[in-house]
Chains A and B, each alone.
Chain A
Amino acid sequence: MKDCSRVDIRDMLPSYEHGRLSAVDRDAVAAHLANCPDCVTELSLVRSAARALAGAPAVDLARIVAALPVPPRRREEGAIPIDSRRARSRPPRTAWASSRRLTAIAAVAVGAAGLSFAVGRSAPDRPDSALVAGSVTPVVGTVRAPASPAAASGLSSAADPGGLIVASAADAELSVAGGVSDLSDDALRSLLGDIERIDDVTVADPAEPLPAVTDLDEEGGA
């Protein structure tokens, strides 16, 4: 078998066979084949080789598909939404003096380093710096709840039916971090009530921008 001197045509014979040439190239090859028995022989050899080398056994497609990983979207959909997960895992309510609530109180009260409640309402004699220095990071996120009676001292929470309620250290020198044992019974009940209502609220994603601190005076807070 001789090799045609047109290497460019011989280069294209397999692509011609597989229909992968542009129209221009396909026509050029076809025109050459009409006058070149050596290229006709080589094209025939390409076809025979393709048949000869196509003798692989059939593979089990169903088995392969079954072994494939789950699509990314399906993996994401498999995640349990936070709300429903929290709803399912919420323990039954027990007496407010339960150890769980006491633990929650301690967590709220003590907090981590640098945690503080945003002061939603400033007492007249409190400067703006009553916004506790360093951070305005609500430990418990935002809460919607009806007003609770103001405590004689210590913590109070202001009602804001339309917006945010932020546990505030209103008048007292006492900071939440100071000592839960300093709270009156009424203040303690109020705090526990707020904590219970917090369970109903989706915890904000820390990555999301924090809600603005509202001026409760303007909104007629308690």
Chain B
Amino acid sequence: MTGESPHGEDAIDAALIERWRGGDERAASELVARHAPALARFAWNLGAREDVDDLVQDTLVRAFGSLDAFRGDSSLRTWLFTIERRLLLDRRRSERRHRETVGVGDQDVATEYDALDDVVAAETERRLREAVARLTPTQREVFSLRVTEGLSYKEIADVVGSTEGAARVHYHNAMRAVKESLT
């Protein structure tokens, strides 16, 4: 097998970044439009709810503030996911410390997803979401990035700070668990 083909999206992103660096602020609007929805999906699938908007904004503000540090070794989207994931983990750590301080109990992940019933169109999709909610956090991240964004295992490994082999194992374990939930 020859593997995945080069992504033309990377070339588009690179051109937009150069335009922005040259002072074209419209390029920033285009970049935001290209990547904000995927960032919102990723945040949502990792459990963010009311703060999805803020999280996506913080991610993009940070990214644009350090675009000089973006070397293009990975795709722009992968880099953005990495930043967003780090921000989300920082927020969760902070929230956990707050809950420990004020004595608030942890929310059950499945409970969070019950609220999605109002939005769910199909029974299968609802059950899928419940199944994904029961995955381990890493499995959920990997599964989400693989099926919703189509990221390669290499790209997923870059985002979650793992190896390509580990990402592949997590994905297949997640897929097995989801299949078992639906049967």
Contact = CB atoms under 8 A, between A and B. Distances in A.
Contacts of B7: 20
Contacts of B33: 61
Contact of A22 (B4, B120, B149): B4
Given A56-B41, A56-B52, A69 B65 contact: yes
Contacts of B125: 48, 51-52
Interface residues of A, number: 48
B147 interface: yes
A68 B144 contact: no
Given A1-B183, A59-B53, A54 B148 contact: yes
Contacts of A20: 4-5, 7, 150, 152
Given A64-B60, A65-B28, A53 B3 contact: no
> Looking at A8, A53, A77, which has the most chain B CB atoms within 10 Å of its CB?
A53
Contacts of A63: 53, 57
A53 B29 contact: no
Given A59-B37, A64-B56, A71 B146 contact: no
Contacts of A152: none
Contacts, number: 152
User: Which of B1, B29, B37, B120 has the most chain A CB atoms closer than 10 A to its own CB?
Assistant: B1
Chain B: interface size category:
35 or more
A28 B129 CA distance: 30
B36 interface: yes
B179 A14 contact: no
B92 to A, nearest CB: 18
B71 interface: no
A21 B148 contact: no
A60 B60 CA distance: 12
Interface string A139-154: 0000000000000000
Contacts of A22: 2-5
Contact of A61 (B36, B43, B148): B36
A63 B57 CA distance: 8
A68 B120 CA distance: 34
Contacts of A7: 172
B40 to A, nearest CB: 4
A183 B146 CA distance: 84
B134 interface: no
Given A25-B4, A25-B5, A48-B128, 8 more contacts: A52-B132, A53-B147, A56-B40, A57-B40, A64-B56, A68-B32, A72-B68, A73-B22
Interface of A: 1, 3, 7-8, 10-12, 14-15, 17-25, 28, 42, 45-46, 48-61, 63-65, 67-74, 77
Top 5 nearest A-B pairs (CB, nearest first) are: A18-B150, A73-B23, A56-B44, A52-B125, A56-B40
11 contacts: A8-B1, A12-B1, A15-B4, A15-B152, A20-B4, A21-B4, A48-B125, A50-B147, A56-B41, A56-B52, A64-B61
